[in-house]
Amino acid sequence: MNSKCIDCSRIIIFTGDFGSGKTMLALNYARYLASTGKHVGLIDADSSKACYRLRDILSVYPHIDNVTLLSPLGKVADTDIPSLSHVWAALQSNMFPYLVFDLPGEYKGAVLLKSIRTMLKDSYELLYVINICRPFGGNLEEIVAQIEKLQYYTEMRFTGLVANTNLGRQTTEDVIVKGFAAASEVSRVVGIPVKLIGVPKDIKVSIIDWNGQILEIFLLDEPYWVS
């Protein structure tokens, strides 16, 4: 079993089902790491969802010191063509003490992971994000089946789970507590520890018997392009 410390690893990869919150977790984890003074390479490897990728969000997000976005450049940046040369370049480089990955959801992320698996030479955290308010994420069997499917396909093992249950702006403490309980149940079945809880900013949560990391998520004004 891995230790609970995520930032003991140089490479931190958020993966999981579509819409589980990987992009916002990656962005906010990078923000957290950067706040410790370390330079973070934040890798936008999502080619699928137009309008809400890291490259789109960061263009309207307040500037974050010590975080460098690594994403496709030029014409290809605005397309849905899976351009991955920036991912490979980042993995070959020693420029950044930390690399945080935002992968696309489900099978699209799995395909990408498989293609970079042998390049992950440094220690890494491969985190599976769980939001039980999402479709197909609501029951234990479905989540476990999904985790096992992705592990089987990528021939990799997740090192941690992220309890990221939320309803966007309408998240309550109750929603988060329920989501953590569900993630803990998944953890018992698959033998992978819960390592992180995502909590939207300004929500106070106290979870008994939990001494792991809670990550504050800064939500975008919704819709972000209105402001």
* 18 in contact with another protein (CB under 8 A): yes
* 66 in contact with another protein (CB under 8 A): no
Binding mask 194-223 for another protein (x = CB under 8 A): ----------------------------xx
Binding mask 134-173 for another protein (x = CB under 8 A): xxx-----------------------------xxxxx---
Cα three-residue angle 220-221-226, rounded to 5 degrees? 125
Q: Tell me how far apart the alpha carbons of residues 37 and 81 are, in angstroms, rounded to a whole number.
A: 34
CB-wise, 159 or 165, nearer to another protein? 165
CB-wise, 134 or 195, nearer to another protein? 134
Which residue has 């089946």 as its token pair? 145
CB-wise, 24 or 43, nearer to another protein? 24
CB 107 within 8 A of CB 153: yes
Q: Cβ contacts of residue 110 below 8 Å, gap of 6+? A: 15, 150, 153, 154
Residue 164, helix vs strand vs coil: coil
* 74 in contact with another protein (CB under 8 A): no
Q: How far is CA 91 from the centre of its chain?
A: 17
Q: How far is the CB of 97 from another protein (least distance, A)?
A: 32
